[in-house]
Amino acid sequence: MHKYLMICNAYPTLENLYANSFLHRRVKAYQQKGLDVDIVVITTKVLKDKYYDGVHIKYMDEYQIASFLKENDYSTVLFHFINQKMFYGINQLEEQERPNIVVWLHGFEAEAWHRRYYNFLESISQLDNALERKDTVFQPQKEFLQDIMTRKDVNIKFIYVSRRFKELYVDPYVGVVPDNYHIIHNIIDDELFQYHKKSADDRLKICTIRPFTAKNYANDITVDVIKQLSRKKYFHKLEFNIYGDGKLFNVLTNPLTQFDNVNLHKGFVKQNDIPEIHKNHGIYLGPSRHDSQGVSLGEAMSSGLVPVTNNIGGIPEFITHKETGMLASRDNVNEMVEHIEFIYKHARKFKKMSENAAESIKQQAGLDTVISKEIEVITNGWS
């Protein structure tokens, strides 16, 4: 029987349930399909093995990974958030001993550093620090990706989480496109985010569930949209619930405390609590400045909410304007307000969009769809 090894930068444990929890969702699904998958988390810390929900997790540095790969015969190694150190063990093997390799490209590990500008524009020193890292960290990572995308001595496939992520972010950054790649989206767990039919009144209930840790989450736009909507006659008929946590929460939401129909829920929202929130709302207001896919938008769609968001990054690959959601151009508050007004005025259209959104995202990124495609890539088509 073939054995598979996943090497990643973090994996959920009982102490840290939410570290890359989407990897665990995959591993459980692979196991259900009969794949035997071991997990290695790369770290320089000395940590004992852990077990989480039936999965054995080992912690190793790059040299331990190299020894481990020599001692164990894995048919395929799966990399998430890959970097040079993770790959060191593969390079230490003789060419004929090297396993097949699948590399998932999710986001930051395969994009130009300046695409995530919002992470270092809080202060001049943060910006200076990023510029320093440009040569020491980002450039080596780019060269590493160029290397593994072009070399012929490894049997390697790449998975991009969206086509637009590949074409707009990764391709121009790396400058080369690998021969063997697949577009497979992150899972939108339609078992957890089950569709609930929406009534016309649900369009009046608007929620957002976002981290308030960085500007890319564009919560400032959410606040501006609500402030602008407050000048509309129908504003008092709407209800807003804002969920999230982070250093920007109080600063950003403070102007909204004056509105009785805006409820602020500061705190981390557990994955399992989100479906209940979805059940009570009809619109998911989720502006964004940078997204390779927009998983939280997809989860809301799966539950039957109509997303109102921005036409940036990977998002339009999952949302068709006025069919499965509403798209505004980048940073455009006016358009977002118009979109919410459109939904307010077109109850029947809202209900149709809600159904379409759930159906479309399930087909595109539902659990079965994604896992079937991934297993096909992992187990078949190796030369």
Binding site for another protein (CB under 8 A): 114-115, 117-118, 121-124, 127, 150, 167-168, 171-172, 175-179, 215, 289, 312, 330-331
Q: Which is nearer to another protein, 68 or 117 (CB)?
A: 117
Whole-number CA gyration radius for the chain: 22
CA-to-CA distance for 111 and 119, rounded, in angstroms? 14
Closest separation in Å from C-beta 359 to another protein = 28
CA 263 from centroid of its chain's CA atoms: 26
Number of H helices, E strands in the chain: 14, 14
Rank residues 171 and 359 by Cβ distance to another protein and give the closer one.
171
* Beta-bridge partner residues of 184: none
The structure tokens listed for 61 are 């540095």
Strands 205-209 vs 100-105: parallel, antiparallel or unpaired: unpaired
Q: Which is nearer to another protein, 198 or 290 (CB)?
A: 290
Query: In the chain, what is the straight-line distance between the N-terminal and C-terminal CA atoms, in Å?
Result: 19
Closest CA to 284 of 317, 249, 327, 314: 327
Q: How far is the CB of 332 from another protein (least distance, A)?
A: 11
Q: How far is the CB of 131 from another protein (least distance, A)?
A: 12
Report strand pairing: 55-60 vs 100-105.
Answer: unpaired
Residue 115 C-beta: closest distance to another protein, Å: 7
Decide whether 4 or 169 has the Cβ nearer to another protein: 169
Secondary structure (3-state) at 15: coil
Please provide the DSSP assignment of 24-92 as one string: HHHHHHHHHTT-EEEEEEE-SS----EEETTEEEEEE-HHHHHHHHHHS--SEEEEES--HHHHHHHHH
Min. distance of Cβ 58 from another protein in angstroms? 35
Q: How far apart are CA 67 and CA 383, in angstroms?
A: 26
Nearer to another protein, 61 or 331 (CB): 331
Question: Which of residues 146 and 372 has its CB atom nearest to another protein in the complex?
Answer: 146
Whether the Cβ atoms of residue 89 and residue 15 lie closer than 8 Å to each other? no
In the complex with another protein, the residue whose CB is nearer, 288 or 360, is 288
Q: How far is the CB of 123 from another protein (least distance, A)?
A: 7
State which residue, 219 or 356, has the beta carbon closest to another protein. 219
Residue with Cβ nearer another protein (180 or 261): 180
Shortest distance in whole angstroms from residue 124 CB to another protein: 5
C-alpha 84/C-alpha 99 separation (Å) is 17
- Judged by beta carbon, residue 92 or residue 146, the one nearer another protein is 146
Least CB distance to another protein at residue 314 (A): 11
Alpha helices, DSSP H, located in the chain: 21-32, 62-71, 84-92, 124-133, 139-150, 163-164, 171-174, 219-229, 249-253, 274-279, 295-303, 333-345, 347-365, 367-379
Minimal distance, residue 13 CB to another protein, in Å: 36
Cβ 312 to another protein shortest distance, Å: 8
Q: In the numeric block, which tokens belong to residue 185?
A: 């989206």
